[in-house]
Structure 1
């Protein structure tokens, strides 16, 4: 969401973490069941090797929160995620299913997620592999029950990203005010992007992948978004 190649190259020097520290920070932990995911969460930071992701996030995304609630199946749950972008609110709903300690998502994109260790007492750190077009990418996210993390928690998340050879994380700004939950109202000011993403043709996802993978493509996306901030 950036010019990040140099940053990636410098990460090992910036975070020269001992091997034992990386072992601890990249340890996959056992998921006890869906109940540990339920509730309201603040999406505090993300690191991903999807080109263009960091630049777009910094330019357009203020903050993100999510509400996780049970599905009918005992091993599944829904994630209602609300993003504040350009002063407007957008939501996406996805369904995750727990299979053999791995979370699986089929829509709006195909992804798998595992839970990593963290010293934060009310956080989730999720390492994901997801497919966009014909490419597969990795992402690391940290969610907390609070509006923001402490400095120590942010530093630890930076080290986790470095240990996983991911770019430096992008931290979102909870001080800009979160969108409200307008999911129950048809007159809500929140725009639901779920149908658009779910019905997107493979050709569109491949085009999006190509745009995000080139500097000219990222520039085109930035111009499109900046020039159409209020269109429905």
Structure 2
């Protein structure tokens, strides 16, 4: 009986502890300026509530790295992202602008991003809200200056995703070798998708959004990529 009374007394504190932990893990931090983003980054892991995203990423994407460099405007920068998919290399360049502690992106999709707390000393953790078609989704991305993070740093990212009710993260594989920097070599086999994505018909994005919302649609996308 004493153990039951003790457990009953401690239960509220035990239940509230994860919530208190989440308050710390999901704290937004102040962006100090664009300089903290500049340089080369490895995209380590991602968690998003976009349907089908985890399945497609796990099946087709090996790894992603990015190079961030300044734009002419003092509050803007470009993100040159290189993705290795099915053994081939694809790149896309986007532009982000800092306004009131929030990063804004217009292409290839409309999105806003804020900086979240992380104990990783050379990482940035971005929380995004982005629009595809007529739907808005949330996602988190963990980037580091290293090829990979420690187990403890990854565990923290997983807890942060859980606090925001996001799916378990998709972890990318840096051991499979990264694509080369296509911007530094004219002989690179990297395919630049920037123009194609920016010119995509908005109606196609609506169709893609609907396809991602159904198992049959996801299968169609998987078959199309595989072929």
Same fold (TM > 0.5): yes
Partner of 2:202: 202
Structure in which a larger fraction of residues adopt helix = 2
Unpaired runs of 5+ residues, structure 1, are 1-15, 228-232
Once the two structures are superposed, residues 98-140 of structure 1 have per-residue CA deviations (whole angstroms, 9 ceiling, x without a partner) of: 0000000001110000000000000000000000000000000
Is 1:175 matched up with 2:175? yes
For 1:173 and 1:17, the matched residues in 2 are separated by 33
Partner of 2:56: 56
Native 8 Å contact 1:111 1:131 kept in 2: yes
For 2:121 and 2:142, the matched residues in 1 are separated by 12
CA RMSD of aligned residues (A): 1.0
Once the two structures are superposed, residues 161-207 of structure 1 have per-residue CA deviations (whole angstroms, 9 ceiling, x without a partner) of: 00001000000000000000012444420000111110001111001
TM-score (norm 2): 0.92
Once the two structures are superposed, residues 26-49 of structure 1 have per-residue CA deviations (whole angstroms, 9 ceiling, x without a partner) of: 100000000000000000000000
Partner of 1:83: 83
TM-score (norm 1): 0.90
Instruction: Map 1:100-119 onto structure 2 (within 5 A).
Output: 100-119=100-119
For 2:59 and 2:172, the matched residues in 1 are separated by 11
Partner of 1:97: 97
Native 8 Å contact 2:180 2:188 kept in 1: no
Unpaired runs of 5+ residues, structure 2, are 1-15
For 2:145 and 2:174, the matched residues in 1 are separated by 12
Residue 17 of structure 1 and its aligned partner are, at CA, apart by 6.2
For 1:17 and 1:175, the matched residues in 2 are separated by 37
